[in-house]
Structure 1
Amino acid sequence: MKLRPPPITRHLWLGLGFVFTAVGLVGTVLPLLPGTGFLVLAAWCFSRSSPKFEAWLLNLPLAGQLIRDYRDGLGMPLRAKIVACLSILLAVSLSIGRIPVLVGQVTWVLIGLFGIWYIIWRVPLRRVP
């Protein structure tokens, strides 16, 4: 039997789920914002707060299958990994000049490098026939 968290905690997870869903849906339209990662986070938040919204997210036509594959440990196809890494590289390259402080620029580059490292080494490669 799964214990339910206190109402305040459930509301917090629900709110975060909606925020991540909104950012993820915007990311499906904007080329420099990785939408799927935010939708995976949203599904995780909804799994702790609302089975109804979790099911809704997992049944979305475009993103639902990607989220289910990630949860099942199936990973990402090679093409998706390449697109994700190139998107991170492009986003960091285009925005680095807009950050006026060197520490901020270095931090932004390190975050981008961590994202690329994570996608390449930590996310399994899914073989697509």
Structure 2
Amino acid sequence: MRRIPRTSRSLALRKALLIGVGGLALGLGLLGVVLPGLPTTPFVLLAAACFAKASPRLHRRIVGNPLLGPMVRDWEAHRSLPVKIKLIAIGSMTLMVGLSVWHFAGRPGLQAALVVLGVIGAVVVGRIPARR
């Protein structure tokens, strides 16, 4: 049985972990498109960063994606988001959380959870650097 040098194993483990975290972040980002209060942008940017370090092929795929690519390319070029995009993101999350809270009238625990998740999402998006 051939032994793999320790550095090769640790690099392989690091690469696998980064790809796994990137895949999870991408999945959460895509869920954020339809789930109220779950932001899409930070998770997609995290996925792109993980893929950039672990897999140039996966990074090229996310950058070349017609829906996600412009967001990632813009972030990589400027390391910030346009104010308009931040306002649209926070506004759409607020709208969806509001509709969800209304839909779940009479279930205060679920309504509170939705509001808390919406606030967390808005804070996450709000903390991303902005530019005019």
Structure 1 pair 109–21 and aligned structure 2 pair: CA distance change class (3 A):
same
Calculate percent identity across the aligned residue pairs. Answer: 31
The answer as to 2:29 corresponding to 1:20 is no
Alpha-carbon offset, residue 17 of structure 1: 2.2
Query: 2:82 touches 2:131 (CA, 8 Å); kept in 1?
Result: yes
Give the TM-score, by structure 2 length. Answer: 0.65
RMSD: 3.3
- Pick 1 or 2: higher relative contact order, CA cutoff 8 A, min separation 6: 2
Matched, 1:70 2:75: yes
Structure 1 residue aligned with 2:48: 43
Larger Rg: 2
Paired residue total: 122
The answer (yes or no) to whether the contact 2:26–2:43 under 8 Å persists in 1 is yes
Alpha-carbon deviation of 1:98?
A: 7.3
Give structure 1 stretches of 5+ with no counterpart.
none
Name structure 2 gaps, 5 residues minimum: 1-6
TM-score if structure 1 supplies the norm length? Answer: 0.66
Query: Which of the residues 97, 116, 120 maps onto 1:110?
Result: 116
8 Å CA contact 2:42–2:124 kept in 1: the answer is: no
Which has the larger helix fraction? 2
Deviations 1:20-68 (A, max 9, x none): 334545656x485644333212112213421221122123334223223
